[in-house]
Amino acid sequence: MMRRIILVRHGVSEWNLLNLFTGWTDVDLSEQGVLEAKEAGQKLKAAGIELDMAFTSVLKRAIRTCHIILEETDQLWIPEVKSWRLNERHYGDLQGLNKQQTAEKYGEEQVLKWRRSYNTLPPLMDPNNPLSPANDRRYANLQKRVIPMGENLETTLERVIPFWEDQIAPAILDRKTVLVAAHGNSLRALIKYLEEIPDDEIMQLEIPTGQPLVYELNDDLTIIRKYYL
């Protein structure tokens, strides 16, 4: 019997609309984002997909997307796990800056590298910055050295994949149909891993907001097919 996982990038957030680097900043969904999440739920319902388990980040734009989808499909009761490992990549000192203005200041090429190269790190956040996640209670259970001050896709992948291996893959192997409501770059990392996309090709992968992406998987979790609902 085929196994299934559904990936959804959160709906448009308030900072997506303002074109600001967001990363680990806990910004809410915009009204448009709420509608996108509802539509995603309706698509799952229309496709008759029954979920057994949901995974999301510890950031409210993904959590709310997850909950809206579960509400629309009348499946709010299913078990859910939240993990920092599904968070958006930490955008370091770029967080809060306008993407267009940053491109005007540092050049389009530099900003494209920061946003899409596999291994270029953004300027790191000073650990003494009051906005550092080290000061945030939700990360209090993590060792300080694990809390990122800025991540590229490579370091994002290195913290997403252990969560895939420890939690998501075992649920799928247990024949659960799984929803993962997360972020542009944590999903990019997961998709890179699942599809074995080379480092230099991952730059081109853009994941639309609020569009359920279904993967049908073999018993060994290789991909049979994938499609957007």
Ligand X SMILES: O=C(O)[C@H](O)COP(=O)(O)O
- Residues forming the active site: 10, 88
Applying CB under 6 A, which part among 49-57, 127-135, 183-191, 214-222 lies near ligand X?
A: 183-191
When binding is defined by CB under 6 A, the residue of 115, 159, 176, 192 that contacts ligand X is 115
List, as one string, the DSSP characters of 128-163. Answer: TSTT-GGG-GGGTTS-GGGS-SS--HHHHHHHHHHH
Closer to ligand X at the Cβ: 30 or 185? 185
For the beta sheet containing 213-217, the strands, ordered from the edge strand earlier in sequence to the opposite edge, are: 80-82, 53-56, 178-182, 3-9, 213-217, 223-228
When binding is defined by CB under 6 A, the residue of 30, 65, 87, 185 that contacts ligand X is 185
Q: What DSSP designation does 170 have?
A: H
Closer to ligand X at the Cβ: 119 or 218? 119
Q: 182 forms bridges with which residues in the sheet? A: 9
Q: What's the sign of the alpha-carbon dihedral 119, 146, 166, 176?
A: negative
Ligand-binding site membership of 116 (annotated): yes
Query: Distances in Å between the alpha carbon of 106 and those of 22, 36, 102, 179?
Result: 18, 33, 6, 38
Ligand-binding site membership of 61 (annotated): yes
- Is residue 84 a contact point for ligand X (CB under 6 A)? no
Closer to ligand X at the Cβ: 22 or 57? 22
Q: How far apart are CA 29 and CA 45, in angstroms?
A: 22
Q: Supply the minimum distance, in Å, between the C-beta of residue 219 and ligand X.
A: 34
Ligand-binding site membership of 41 (annotated): no
Ligand-binding site membership of 99 (annotated): yes
Q: Are 95 and 125 in contact (CB under 8 A)?
A: yes
Ligand-binding site membership of 188 (annotated): no
When binding is defined by CB under 6 A, the residue of 4, 51, 65, 91 that contacts ligand X is 91
Q: 9 forms bridges with which residues in the sheet? A: 182, 209
When binding is defined by CB under 6 A, the residue of 36, 39, 72, 88 that contacts ligand X is 88
Task: Please give the residues from 158 up to 177 whose contact with ligand X meets the rule CB under 6 A.
Answer: none
The residues of the shown chain that bind ligand X, judged by CB under 6 A, are 21-23, 88, 91, 115, 183-185
Residues making up the annotated binding site for substrate are: 9-16, 22-23, 61, 88-91, 99, 115-116, 184-185
